[in-house]
């Protein structure tokens, strides 16, 4: 039997080299667990892949949890999931500290200014790529209608919570599929009891609430965290639009899923309030909250979910959420672009980066590194 120590070390190694996005992560996990170590059968891997694609959350980290669960049960799932995420988390925390001190460093601020339009372009390209996929006509029309409505809300200054838009889209599709007029919803109970406490507990409660909600609605890829987090992060004043784009860039350049950008947001929110170790604690709270649904779904509910994921009503809800994903991602990109980009130079960089990624398929990492190099040249 595989020891937990060996499983943890292997996943730590995989997490340290997990660059290139979720598909590259999946290939790395398959190569290690199925082909090299022979710990998991190919058919079990495919079963896990189907399950992770059906669940909310970053698929690659969920797959790491699933494989550990297959090998050593619940303890194995915890060890493999934490091992896979830990290297990226440490890198994000280190870069968060560096970013925090960069206000006094001209070169780093120039890099930040250069990569912000590239990140915005990557988000726009992600929304466009989602629409380009072969989708039923109703999904394309739904995405277009939702985007027009969200863009209109933005122009009129109406705050439309994008997470609720995704949830409503799923429920509407589910209701349409069932052809029923009655649909009961249980109210979401947040962490209201902590909200009246002292400021540190107040912030911890807000972070846990915001990131847990986001973790429950990440369908369609890691970039879906952008519309889910952009509104709450800016509304709470945890950082500016430019800072949020920097956080997404840091998540992209670090190993592991881009969802680890949550640690950057939590760190900056904590640093704004108290700094020091509290910033690290806030980063860990945000990261724990956004990944908690992934661990819970795989470790506690995998057998049940495997039985119900093919039911029409469950598929209808998921289809409805995914149909609205391109619209809410594009709406978030619109708001971030308008709020954080200034001048013809940044908008030109956005346009060039968008074309390079969408048409020439240049990787995000290459674009970000190129923009960083351009920023250094400008700083000189």
Q: What is the CB-side half-sphere exposure of residue 342 using CA atoms within 13 A?
A: 5
Q: What is the pLDDT of residue 253?
A: 85
Token readout for 329 is 């991602």
What is the pTM assigned to this prediction?
A: 0.77
Please give the Cα distance from 233 to 279 (Å, whole number): 16
| Cβ proximity of 327 and 146 under 8 Å | yes
Closest CA to 310 of 300, 322, 323, 319: 319
Please give the Cα distance from 371 to 114 (Å, whole number): 5
Burial pattern 278-307, b for ≥16 Cβ within 10 A else e, equals bbbbbbbbbbbbbbbbbbebbbeebeeeee
| Cβ proximity of 84 and 15 under 8 Å | yes
Token readout for 88 is 């990226």
Closest CA to 254 of 122, 120, 364, 109: 364
Q: What is the pLDDT of residue 178?
A: 61
CA distances from 207 to 190, 214, 223, 329 (A): 11, 11, 19, 21
Closest CA to 291 of 89, 117, 119: 89
137: helix, coil or strand? helix
Q: What is the pLDDT of residue 286?
A: 97
Report H helices in 238-311: 241-253, 261-273, 276-308
- The region that residue 255 occupies, defined by phi over 0 for left and psi between -120 and 50 for alpha, beta otherwise, is beta
pLDDT tens track of the chain, all 380 residues?
789 999 999 999 999 988 877 877 888 899 999 989 999 988 888 878 777 777 788 888 999 999 999 899 899 999 999 999 999 999 999 999 988 887 555 666 777 788 889 888 888 887 887 777 646 776 777 778 888 887 887 777 766 666 666 667 766 776 766 654 333 333 333 434 444 447 888 899 999 999 999 998 887 667 788 888 988 999 999 999 999 999 999 998 899 999 999 999 999 999 999 878 999 999 999 999 999 999 988 887 666 666 666 677 777 777 777 777 778 778 888 888 888 788 888 899 999 999 998 888 888 778 888 888 888 887 66
Round the CA-based radius of gyration of the chain to a whole number and report it: 20
Q: What is the pLDDT of residue 14?
A: 94
């Amino acid at each position: 039997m595989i020891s937990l120590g060996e499983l943890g070390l292997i996943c730590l190694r995989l997490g340290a080299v997990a660059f290139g996005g979720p598909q590259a992560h999946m290939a790395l996990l398959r190569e290690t667990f199925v082909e090299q170590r022979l710990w998991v059968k190919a058919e079990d891997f495919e079963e896990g892949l189907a399950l992770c694609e059906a669940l909310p959350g970053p698929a690659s980290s969920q797959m790491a949890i699933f494989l550990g669960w297959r090998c050593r049960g619940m303890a194995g799932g915890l060890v493999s999931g934490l091992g896979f995420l830990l290297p990226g988390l440490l890198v994000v925390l280190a870069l968060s500290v560096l970013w925090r001190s960069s206000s006094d460093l001209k070169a780093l601020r120039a890099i930040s200014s250069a990569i912000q339009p590239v990140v915005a372009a990557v988000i726009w390209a992600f929304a466009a790529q989602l629409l380009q996929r072969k989708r039923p006509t109703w999904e394309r029309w739904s995405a277009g209608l939702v985007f027009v409505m969200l863009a209109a809300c933005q122009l009129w200054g109406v705050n439309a919570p994008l997470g609720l838009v995704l949830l409503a889209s799923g429920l509407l599709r589910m209701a349409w599929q069932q052809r029923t007029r009655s649909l009961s919803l249980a109210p979401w109970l947040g962490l209201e009891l902590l909200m009246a406490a002292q400021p540190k507990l107040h912030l911890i409660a807000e972070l846990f609430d915001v990131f847990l909600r986001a973790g429950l609605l990440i369908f369609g890829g890691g970039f879906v965290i952008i519309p889910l987090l952009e509104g709450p992060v800016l509304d709470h004043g945890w950082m500016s639009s430019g800072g949020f784009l920097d956080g997404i860039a840091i998540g992209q350049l670090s190993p592991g899923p881009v969802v680890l950008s949550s640690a950057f947001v939590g760190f900056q929110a904590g640093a704004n309030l108290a700094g020091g170790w509290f910033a690290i604690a806030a980063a860990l709270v945000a990261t724990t909250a956004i990944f908690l649904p992934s661990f819970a779904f795989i470790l506690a509910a995998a057998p049940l979910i495997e039985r119900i994921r093919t039911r029409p009503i469950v598929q209808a809800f998921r289809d409805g959420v995914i149909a609205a994903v391109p619209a809410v991602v594009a709406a978030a990109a619109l708001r971030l672009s308008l709020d954080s980009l200034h001048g013809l130079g940044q908008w030109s960089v956005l346009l060039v980066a968008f074309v390079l990624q969408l048409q020439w398929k240049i990787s995000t990492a290459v674009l970000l590194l190129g923009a960083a190099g351009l920023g250094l040249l400008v700083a000189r």
